[in-house]
Amino acid sequence: MKPATGNCTIPKPVRTFADPVTGVTLHQLTAGPEPSAHLYFTRCGWLNGGKYFLFARRQDGAVNLHVACPSGEVRQVTHLPPPPLPNAMMPHMHRRFFAWEGESLLLRLPAIHPTEPLFAYSWMNEVHLVDIERGTDELLLIFPRSESEQPFSGLHTSFTADGRDLIFTTTRRRRAGEERLDPPTQEWNTALRDEDHFVSAIRRYDFTRRALGDVIFRSNGEQSHLLTCPWNPEILLWVNYLHSSIYTIRRDGSHLRTLLSGRHLMPGHYNWDVAHRRLTVLVTDTTTWDTTQCSLDVETGQLRRYPVGGGKHQWHQNASPDGRWIVTDHLTVGDRNGLSLIDQQTDTLRPLCQLGCSWGMSAPDGGPMKSEFLHPNPSWSPDGRYVAVSTDFGQGIDAVQVFLVDTATINHA
């Protein structure tokens, strides 16, 4: 599959500047007294091959999605109210979110339609469909809390590559007396969270007929990292960190297959390398938390390791549309954290730019905290020229804004 060609739409930059270490050009796309951020790294923020650019912005206590159009206009396309916030913080595994961010986290994980100016998003156990060109926000489904407990646990959405189906993963607490779904010998490999008391379901919604089908798969644990395959609409791929495995399954629920598994192994953040029909995936040894950047063949399970891109725990990474680079956001560029490129042809590393994100943030009471707004989440434009990234440059969560890193000089080197 060839990457899209032509220029991708971007908002008019607030400012343009050169990185002090590499000289690469950065465009700041958003500004304001409250934060903005592009989509999570598993979602390309450009729709229709680059015609529209989607990002999230917080205003007056509410997070909503905005789109930059080819005309240069930036429009708000969701109109959600500020969520009810009984507490300032909410739990997440061994850390906590600001409650406002946790409540709106799934807005940064919309299902992007492969060919149309459409995306689906979830909010408070509802699934909505937005048509950017018509300006509509249609309610598709409402799940009862007996099946989906968002935002306690996410209601995740993804379109299949043919645009025919929406795939949902819903998660709820296991009910008293309910039998465990996983085999009794299943070994959870970390103590980050008791996944045993979660029950997840994968559901299929026929988008062409607007009909919700039966549950195609259930298991314990939150199956939040489910992706649909961009070159084969029949394949779904998902990870439960604590299962120590990556799985594939057909969209009709058949042919469950373990693609990668191992004792003390945690396959974590992964994404598609469309050019090579592979996955880029982070594999962590949970006895040491040493993590290696890897590439995984979806058909054979063959694993290639890139030691040059190693580190600790998990970070975010993304393969370029032409398959040459993997951009990664955990390494140091100069004296600050930044973006680097792994050359898949030569297994060498090239610094891209500095970021200085506030990774080590603490909650107001001094406890450990998590913020996706403060994670860079690098994501390539469909034409392979830009890397979208969010950062605060060390100024705190209210200073987070969206930037584009122009890789033109590196790509032609």
pLDDT tens figures, 366-396: 777 788 888 999 999 999 999 999 999 989 8
Which residues are registered as beta bridge partners of 97? 90
Residue 117 corresponds to which tokens in the numbers above? 């100016």
Phi/psi for 99 (5° steps) reads: -60, -40
**Percent of the chain scoring above 70 in pLDDT:** 93
8 Å CB contact between 19 and 409:
no
Which pLDDT score is estimated for 183?
Answer: 64
**For residues 79 and 135, what is the distance between their CA atoms, to the nearest angstrom?**
11
**For residues 173 and 221, what is the distance between their CA atoms, to the nearest angstrom?**
9
pLDDT tens figures, 205-233: 999 899 999 999 988 877 777 899 999 99
**223, 273, 403 from 379: Cα distances, Å:** 22, 12, 11
Residue 280 corresponds to which tokens in the numbers above? 């880029």
Residue 295 corresponds to which tokens in the numbers above? 């590439």
Which residues are registered as beta bridge partners of 98? 89
This model's pTM is above 0.85: yes
**pLDDT confidence tier of residue 88, bands split at 50, 70 and 90:** confident
Residue 324 corresponds to which tokens in the numbers above? 């040459």
Phi/psi for 100 (5° steps) reads: -60, -35
8 Å CB contact between 54 and 67:
yes
Mean pLDDT over residues 56-78, rounded? 93
**pLDDT surpasses 90 at 203:** yes
Residues whose CB falls within 8 Å of the CB of residue 91, separated by 6 or more in sequence, listed in order: none
**For residues 226 and 236, what is the distance between their CA atoms, to the nearest angstrom?**
7
**pLDDT confidence tier of residue 410, bands split at 50, 70 and 90:** confident
Q: How many CB atoms lie within 10 A of CB 3?
A: 17
Which pLDDT score is estimated for 241?
Answer: 62
pLDDT tens figures, 332-359: 999 999 999 999 999 999 999 999 998 7
8 Å CB contact between 404 and 27:
yes
